[in-house]
Structure 1
Amino acid sequence: MGVRGSGRSRYGGRLRRAVFAVLITGALVVPLSAAARPRIPAPPPAKLPPLSAVTLAGTYEANRADAAEAFRMAAAHGDRGRATADRALASPSHHLLAFDGRGPGRVTEVFGDLATARHIAVLVPGSDTTLDTYARFRAGALALHRRTGPRAAVVAWLGYDTPRMLGTAALTASRAEQGARGLERFVAELRAAVGPLPGVSLLCHSYGTVVCARAAAAADVQDIALVGSPGTGVDCAADLHTRARVWAARGGDDWIADVPHVRVDVFGTDVGFGTDPVSPAYGARVFAAGGGGHSGYFAPGSVSLANLARIVLGRMPEVTHA
């Protein structure tokens, strides 16, 4: 048993180092070789009053109108994919707190009633999430809302420019720093609108866990859940300097397990995000995520979705542990 275990350990170590080398190579080479995407025309974001229960309906209407105009401009530009995404968001069934169709795009969508919710979950996405791929992020938020029920509202927050999976930004904290400032502002606006009573949870996926870690100290939330994390840039949960409960999980088939959880200096820039949040050394509350892969944490019927819903609803004794 000892010999076989040592062999697996050596093989696993070689695999992780190889994967990390590929990622670093991708980070340095891909940005130089990838073709830039043409700019997609869209109107500037709508000018909106401060968020409140009274202004919600008008905010939703203004952002849907902006999405409809973005659809017309993208269609005229010949970008059928973006036009399709914009048209979907312009539908009356979408409750948009924010919309910006320029560049990769940003959108914040609400599922449920913010004005009456007793619990609010804010989902923070990882790499390669844009308006063009928003539908899959939205599907996860919708699945969570169906699981939590009418007592909770779920917010899909695509409020920052996410990095590409194979790109320098995916291995450094540069995009996370920008995203964290936006997330801090959003949580503050949300708190001002709904008051102190609803419990607010940050549910953070992949590179989004780095964003949440940067915002943790300033965000007035009760729970922070880190799923599929490459690391958060700190050595342990205590270094987040938050009063929130910190949770972590990783699916059994998530490839992120094979990425070394280290930080190294590459030409004066920190690459990687350090300690694995599901390791004992990190000190998070590790919960079961089942056997899913990197994109399966919000899949309907999954173990991870059930536990995330329990965290959002404050049902801590019901959360199953890994």
Structure 2
Amino acid sequence: MGLEQEATSRGRSSRWRRATLAALITAAVVVPLSAAARPTIPAPVPAALAPATASTLRAAYDANRANAARASRMAAAHGDRERAAADRALAAPTRHYLAFDGRGPGRAAEVLGDLARADRIAVLVPGSDTSLDTYDRFRAGALALHRRLEREAPLGTRTAVVAWLGYRTPDTISPAVLTTGRADQAAPRLREFVGDLHRIAGRTAKISLLCHSYGTVVCGSAAAGLDVTDIALVGSPGTGARRAADLHTRAHVWAARGGGDWIEEVPHVRTDLFGTTVGLGADPVSPAFGAHVFAAGGGGHSDYFRPGSVSLANLTRIVLGDTKEVTRA
């Protein structure tokens, strides 16, 4: 096959994939999925906690670990061995949570590092299909970032990472992933959480939001007026906005997409379809969006926080404020 024919073939293949995805979007709205829901997993209500401050951290950590241990016992009694094991791991003495809720898909906000004394704080916001059952893969990215920050932070700079599973994420194959609905519900929670972090670490602490996949939609919904220095969008299907300026934030807005990320094939549209606004808007790595686009290497959709990756190196520099060393795409 000649180069011209090969290019034509690739173009047809790309158009076919986009047309197929558009059809799937339509089908998801017109014919909602009817998969059976997982049976409700019993768990205790979240622990009653005092307002978050540096002085209440230890009590919050203890109470949330105890809640996770109780959730594990309740799940085991219910016969859900998978969730019981997940909750048991979450209840380990070395784990620190600002929040924990074992009910349903679950929620958690886990702290890595000395949050009360941190100068630089990274908050990871996950995408679809993240729950307590899949939490380990989300936490692995937070751990990789935390280790790299500890290695590369300048002398005297203290860092912390928070894995914020603070909302009910949509399923990857579901109507909810095609709209901003879940993100709009999550945004007030994220705004409140950032306020808690400033109350704990002080107003001078620099907070960066590192948002992955559908998590970038959450960050886009929460961005207006949020007291953070940087918002990094990786593997984004869109934020619901046409351009970075529409996020109404003073934070630096960054964006990246790995060379092997399938999200590139998602149509970046936002339209009214049968009375529902479908699609998540402009591609954040496009020049028209106006974000600072940085290199992410050739990784796939789940590789942005992989140890040794180009994307993790650049995210580390963003969190540390070493933005002149961020490699651009």
**Corresponding residue to 2:20 among 15, 18, 22:** 18
2:215 maps to amino acid: G
**CA offset digits 1:74-131 (Å, max 9, x no partner):** 0000001110111011101100110000011000000000011110000000000000
Q: Does structure 1 residue 59 correspond to structure 2 residue 70?
A: no
2:225–2:250: 8 Å Cα contact kept in structure 1? no
The aligned runs of 1:208-219 (5 Å cut-off) are 208-219=215-226
**Corresponding residue to 1:296 among 265, 278, 303:** 303
1:201–1:224: 8 Å Cα contact kept in structure 2? yes
CA distance in 2, matches of 1:238, 1:9: 32
Instruction: Give the equivalent residue in structure 2 for 1:9.
Output: 11
TM-score (norm 1): 0.96
The aligned runs of 1:40-189 (5 Å cut-off) are 40-149=41-150, 151-189=158-196
1:282 maps to amino acid: F
CA distance in 1, matches of 2:141, 2:31: 32
Unaligned ranges ≥5, structure 1? none
CA distance in 2, matches of 1:30, 1:92: 43
2:238 maps to amino acid: G
**CA offset digits 1:236-289 (Å, max 9, x no partner):** 000000000000000000000001101122211111111100000000000000
User: Which segment drifts farther, 207-216 or 12-21?
Assistant: 12-21
CA distance in 1, matches of 2:132, 2:237: 23
CA distance in 1, matches of 2:210, 2:19: 29
TM-score (norm 2): 0.94
Instruction: Give the equivalent residue in structure 2 for 1:283.
Output: 290
Tell me the matched-pair count. Answer: 321
**CA offset digits 1:182-203 (Å, max 9, x no partner):** 1011011111222221110000
Structure 1 residue 24, shift from structure 2 partner: 3.7
1:30–1:166: 8 Å Cα contact kept in structure 2? no
Instruction: Give the equivalent residue in structure 2 for 1:222.
Output: 229
SS of the counterpart of 2:54? coil
The CA RMSD measured in Å over matched residues stands at 1.5
Q: Does structure 1 residue 253 correspond to structure 2 residue 260?
A: yes
1:237–1:283: 8 Å Cα contact kept in structure 2? yes
What fraction of aligned residue pairs are identical, expressed as a percent?
A: 66
1:28–1:168: 8 Å Cα contact kept in structure 2? no
Question: Which runs of structure 1 show a deviation greater than 3 angstroms over 4 or more consecutive aligned residues?
Answer: 1-11, 26-30
Structure 1 residue 65, shift from structure 2 partner: 0.3
